[in-house]
Amino acid sequence: MFDYRSLFDLSGRSALVVGAGSGIGQASAQALAAHGAEVYCADINLAAAQETVDSIQEAGGKASALIMDITDPESIAQGLAKTGTVDVLVSTPSINVRKPLLAYTPEEFDRVINLNMKGTFQVVQAVAKGMADQGRGSIIVFSSIRSQVVEPGQGVYAATKAGVLQMMRALAAELAPQGVRANLIGPGVVETPLTAQIKQHPEWYEAYAKRNALGRWAKPHEIAGAVVYLASDASSYVTGTIMFVDGGWLAIDGRFDPPLPQS
């Protein structure tokens, strides 16, 4: 019988997590290490990446920190010179400028596109080349529910999240013959440093909570399970897809509870 217990075992594998200094990236790094992977924790903030490394090592895992700015090809190259070819890539960084499209400046547009789309492309391309050469690898990029549904002030951000979805679908088709899988995760609302500003507005925070079936925000560790799944052999037949971890947001988006008869 097949050894099903080994499906999530990442022992002997290496993973590069970009954005590992906080939030979903940090939880992803910790989860991968807990399942046996040696994790390279990359972040633009080296001190934050080191804090993640310390937490992993305290739990008995293997990890090291490095600085990486995915908008800078030289920074990516310097980081990969330290990691070598890895088995798993997790790319989490993105930003949003919440403004109506007619109020966007060219500089703001470029800033969002440069990180969310171009930066993701640059790090994925650099890592995927090594994976293709070694004949295996799992690439995991973070998209969003905004790749499917949008609201005022999210136009450019949503465009980038839809863009990386299509880009990774194409990559999955291109690299499948080389044994490399490419998938995405689409979170709903998650409590991270990047969304902390929303928590300062109770009405806004509660409105988002009520937009999903579970009626609450997610914690970063609740996203990490999807990362481990897509990194492991449990998803060996999964590529070119997006896994939504959104508490049922897309299932009930725009919900209205009508006064239905109870009997």
Residues classed as catalytic: 157
The rounded distance, in Å, linking the Cα atoms of 70 and 75 is 7
The rounded distance, in Å, linking the Cα atoms of 186 and 33 is 22
DSSP string, 37-80: -EEEEEESSHHHHHHHHHHHHHTT-EEEEEE--TT-HHHHHHHH
| Cα-based distances in Å from 14 to 46, 92, 118, 231 | 19, 17, 24, 10
Q: Is the dihedral of CA 49, 119, 92, 237 positive or negative?
A: negative
| Cα-based distances in Å from 129 to 86, 231, 235, 244 | 11, 17, 21, 27
The rounded distance, in Å, linking the Cα atoms of 255 and 10 is 40
| Strand partners for 181 | 138
H/E segment holding residue 135: none
| Strand partners for 17 | 41, 90
- Any idea how long the chain is? 263
Which residues, at least 6 apart from 34, have a Cβ–Cβ distance to it below 8 Å? 59, 61
| Strand partners for 242 | 184
The rounded distance, in Å, linking the Cα atoms of 228 and 34 is 10
